[in-house]
A = this chain, B = another copy of it.
């Protein structure tokens, strides 16, 4: 059931998928997208969820002069079968929407 859409660095429309690259890679990618789109959704699953929250916090708090805010946070889960013959397991996901404050 893995569709690969949460793989590292993938980007589709206004979505940024968090993977294993350095944190600032995703911060930069998100800021670039925010220059073109009113809202960007930072997506992650499993252990990358913490990194997604870090990326959102860096953009909203540390770069607060840019005037972005967390518009919404959505939690979910995906059915993932990582290995052949392995039982599919649930992986938690997060979608953090970032948009301009005003």
* Chain A residues engaging chain B, CB cutoff 8 angstroms: 46-47, 49-50, 53-54, 56-57, 60-62, 70, 73-77, 90, 92-94, 96
Contacts and interface: CB of A to CB of B under 8 A. Distances in A.
Contacts of A74: 73
Contact of A57 (B53, B56, B90): B90
Contacts of A93: 53
B46 A92 contact: no
A54 to B, nearest CB: 5
Contacts of A73: 73-75
A49 B60 CA distance: 18
Most interface-central of A56, A62, A77, A92 (chain B CB within 10 A) = A92
